[in-house]
Copies of this chain bind each other. A is one copy, B any other.
Amino acid sequence: MSPSDHTATTPDELGLELIDRWWRAANYLSVGQIYLLDNPLLREPLRPEHIKPRLLGHWGTTPGLNFIYAHVNRAIVQRDLDMMYVMGPGHGGPGPLAASWLEGSYTETYPNVTRDAEGMRRLFRQFSFPGGVPSHVAPETPGSIHEGGELGYALSHAYGAAFDNPDLIVAAVVGDGEAETGPLAASWHSNKFVDPRRDGTVLPILHLNGYKIASPTVLARITPEELDHLLRGYGHNPRYVEGSDPAQMHQDFARALDECLDEIEEIKRRAGEEDHSDRPRWPMIVLRSPKGWTGPAEVDGKPVEGTWRSHQVPFAEARENDAHREILERWLRSYRPDELFDESGAPAAEIADLHPAGIRRMSSSPHSNGGQVLRELRMPDFRQYAIPVSAPGGSDAESTRALGGFLRDVLSDNADNFRVFAPDENNSNRLNAVLDVTERTWNAEIIAGDDHLAPDGRVMEILSEHTCQGWLEGYLLTGRHGFFSCYEAFIHIVDSMFNQHAKWLTTTNDIPWRRPIASLNYLLTSHVWRQDHNGFSHQDPGFIDHVVNKKSDVIRVYLPPDANTLLSVADHCLRSRQYVNVIVAGKQPQPQFLSMDAAIEHCTKGIGIWDWASNDEGEKPDVVMACAGDVPTLETLAAVSILRDAFPNLRIRVVNVVDLLRLQDRQAHPHGLADQDFDALFTTDVPVVFAYHGYPSLIHRLTYRRANHANFHVHGYREEGTTTTPFDMCVLNEIDRFHLALDVIDRVPSLRDVSSHVREELRDRLIRHTVYIREHGDDLPEIRDWVWRDAASTEPAEPRG
């Protein structure tokens, strides 16, 4: 079955016999985890009750993962390397658990899983078992930053880990199934974003395991020439290790790995010596080995080793079927457990010699528990970037441009542990200022006319949201900080990546040894209300809806209405830990409402009455006009102006929401307002006309348990849009000032009989707007240049700058 029997006789300059023994031990422990409840060392014959009733796990990829792990361990010891292991085929969860147990880190982390027969029994039993550990690589797995769920992110995570870690080498196994995914295919080009002086190294190991769940893999079935072309086209210098005979494979892999590590050393040496070097062609390894290697060759007359039948559990009836159980026992014994474990069940002494010690163990790498190595950001005082606002609406600014100044200085002050990421949108999103102190990361060709490119730049731009997100996740998970700006509509591209990261955070909140990491900060801009010129396909504010489906303890959503609130929110987010923070803010020039002091106060509360825009004077209002988001705030204030002009006695209360989850009740979200505080803002019976940035249903969803919910009338994006003017976008979705004012008139009983002329006038203004834009192609000047005036005075606000 396992041809490992030959290895004892091979020449062994590199300690290959020991490596083989370590590999056999890891394989034994992997099979044991998948199958065994008890009798871990096979010290008695295998009986049905020793087998798990539900067999859940993936064998196929595991022996390959173990093989690589063993060899990398040898190299770490021989060369004293700082290495991490990223397992793309993370469904091979038994592998890293076996390695960690062999290395002792598992027992250090989970003391009840001792390094003896009883601990081995627990290791086996807990795997994929209720109350135990997941079948995939997971946050619970020591040494991991990469969940074995959805595939596609092994390389981008690995590169994220390597950035700004010059001495780190990340061994990144890419499964040939994963290699078919889009995100993985794109991420090969990450090597154009590595600076050999400042960054660490990613050593990709493409594992041609041959099959996915059922089909062969594309990369295993193109010609060797095509594969070599492809990998060289990605910018790598590949080495190939192919076969199934362990003795030969050990020799070949050890040699290939040594050559790669020599080459990496040479690249780093040259880069350190020369002023400017060409982009290196980084080494990589292609390992072509049988799926389910060393597993049973055949079961029930059907080939298993080397086929897709090895993908999960190679045979399922080991409990009920005696013949299957015999196959299992023979399989386990083929690893010769007596040579691998001592009398007590602990790994034999020689095996312990193979692996490195302490934090050199990949299962104990401090990088893989990023919170351990996290350093606080040095934060400039965000107040110094304030936009002067002498009176609400008294000046215009591009909010994200103000944020750019702040981020610039965060970059300056944290030159080795903070980066910003964008899918080629940094300047489009008006964060240009960051390029005053650093460049766009770029290690491909640079020619005259290029704008701000350098190998050691820290503005990471590639036209792949997946790659940006993967880099950032890897960077955060290894204990650094970052900021991702993106067009709002296209952040849906990473919906499933966000899911996995949020779930990772949720899980780590319950794992005491996992230290808190920096939050993942999104700025969503070029948002739905200002995508008029890119049209309908660029309009989608639904990422927030997606985000709030995840556990409330890891997600935060902010809608700062202007520049100073944006600055305050961004400062808060950059200091936070273990969250995904979603900030939505526009980049176009817009009226500014709050001075920095007012902004801080408002953001601290997260939600509040804007007294300067309200005239309820602390009394019960006739209507609450609520708003969340910059454009909805602007339109709400314009509607308030209209209403106060038309109905001076109407008592209007304006409530602005920055921290969206303040709306939810306290049981549902830690930021949720207590009911009495919510009712104090929104009353229990007065109509609330709410202008919200996104899909209106979310506001209902967040507030449906509140006393006054039946009186909430929410305006938001209704999937109406095309190429038109900014204000027309609002009109199409009925979130504009006129529709808001009309809605108030409809909702406030006292206005119903006195307002027909106002209603008519508002409808007339809507028609005039439509006629005007179709004639002129732009919004009416009175709308474009609208200025908030304090309705209590007749004076206009300060002239706008």
Which A residues, 432 to 484, have Cβ-Cβ distances below 8 Å to chain B? 440, 442, 444-447, 449-451, 453, 461-467
Contact flags A478-504 to B (C-beta < 8 A → 1, else 0): 000000000001101101100110010
A235 contacts chain B at the CB level, 8 A cutoff: yes
Which A residues, 231 to 272, have Cβ-Cβ distances below 8 Å to chain B? 231-235
Contact B184 A182 (CB under 8 A): yes
A6 contacts chain B at the CB level, 8 A cutoff: no
Contact of A774 among B130, B542, B546, B719 (CB under 8 A): B130
A134 contacts chain B at the CB level, 8 A cutoff: yes
Residue of B nearest to A149 (CB): B537
Residue of B nearest to A726 (CB): B54
A177 contacts chain B at the CB level, 8 A cutoff: yes
Q: How far is the CA of A776 from the CA of B319 in the complex (A)?
A: 13
> Which residues of chain B come closer than 8 Å to A445, judged between CB atoms?
216, 221-223
Q: Copy number in this complex?
A: 2
CB of A506, distance to nearest CB on chain B (Å): 7
Residue of B nearest to A179 (CB): B463
Contact of A444 among B216, B308, B551 (CB under 8 A): B216
Which A residues, 328 to 355, have Cβ-Cβ distances below 8 Å to chain B? none
CB of A394, distance to nearest CB on chain B (Å): 26
A534 contacts chain B at the CB level, 8 A cutoff: yes
Which one of A63-71, A419-427, A579-587, A600-608 contacts B? A419-427
> Which residues of chain B come closer than 8 Å to A550, judged between CB atoms?
719
Contact of A719 among B461, B467, B493, B506 (CB under 8 A): B506
A697 contacts chain B at the CB level, 8 A cutoff: yes
Contact B549 A719 (CB under 8 A): yes
Which A residues, 695 to 746, have Cβ-Cβ distances below 8 Å to chain B? 695, 697, 700-701, 704, 709, 719, 722-725, 728
Given A53-B776, A533-B128, A550-B719, CB of A464 within 8 Å of CB of B181: yes
Contact B151 A534 (CB under 8 A): no
Contact of A545 among B227, B440, B549 (CB under 8 A): B549
> Which residues of chain B come closer than 8 Å to A135, judged between CB atoms?
533-535, 723
A307 contacts chain B at the CB level, 8 A cutoff: yes
Apart from A135-B533, A308-B451, A551-B719, what are 8 other A-B pairs with CB-CB below 8 Å?
Answer: A134-B536, A177-B463, A192-B218, A215-B451, A230-B230, A303-B449, A495-B546, A697-B701
The 30 listed contacts between A and B (C-beta, < 8 Å) are: A129-B777, A130-B724, A130-B774, A135-B534, A135-B723, A150-B489, A177-B424, A180-B189, A180-B462, A181-B182, A182-B185, A184-B186, A192-B218, A213-B424, A214-B426, A214-B427, A214-B451, A215-B424, A216-B447, A221-B446, A489-B496, A499-B540, A499-B542, A503-B719, A549-B695, A549-B719, A551-B719, A700-B700, A700-B701, A704-B709
What 6 pairs between A and B have smallest CB-CB spacing?
A230-B233, A149-B537, A182-B182, A185-B185, A56-B533, A229-B233
A contact residues vs B (CB 8 Å cutoff): 37, 52-54, 56, 91, 128-136, 138, 147-152, 177-178, 180-189, 192, 212-218, 221-223, 226-235, 303, 306-308, 424-428, 440, 442, 444-447, 449-451, 453, 461-467, 489-490, 492-493, 495-496, 499-500, 503, 506-507, 533-538, 540, 542, 545-546, 549-551, 695, 697, 700-701, 704, 709, 719, 722-725, 728, 773-774, 776-778
